[in-house]
Amino acid sequence: MQPNFDQELEDRLVRYAAIDSQSDETSAATPSTEIQFDMLNLLVAELQEIGAADVTLTDYGVVLATIPATAPGPAIGLLAHVDTAPQFNATGVKPRVIKGYDGGDITYPDNPDLALSPQKSPYLASKQGDDLITASGLTLLGADDKAGVAIVMTLARHLLANPEIKHPKIRLAFTPDEEIGRGVGALLPKDLGVDFAYTLDGGDAGEIVYESFSADRAVVRIKGVSIHPGWAKEKMVNAAHLAAKIVQTLPQATMTPETTDGREGFIHITDMNGGSSEMEIKLILRDFELDGLAAKGDLLRSVCDAVQASEPRAEITCEIFPQYRNMRYWLENDMTPVELALAACRAHGIEPISAPIRGGTDGSRLTEFGVPTPNIFTGMQNVHGPLEWISVQDMAKATEVCLTLVQKAAEMG
Residues assigned a catalytic role = 83, 178
CA distances from 34 to 17, 29, 38, 150 (A): 17, 9, 8, 21
CA–CA distance, 388 with 134 (Å, rounded to integer): 6
| Cβ–Cβ under 8 Å, residues 206 and 352 | yes
Phi, psi of 72 (to 5 degrees): -65, 165
Gap between the Cα atoms of 198 and 214, Å rounded: 18
Angle CA 357–271–252, to nearest 5: 65
Q: At what angle do helices 392-411 and 143-161 cross, to 10 degrees?
A: 50
| Distance of alpha carbon 263 from alpha carbon 256, whole angstroms | 13
How far is it, in rounded angstroms, from Cα 148 to Cα 142? 10
Nearest to 340 by CA among 376, 371, 394: 376
Of residues 385, 35, 6, 342, the one with CA closest to residue 198: 342
The bridge status of strand 375-377 relative to strand 196-202 is parallel
- CB atoms closer than 10 angstroms to residue 309: 9
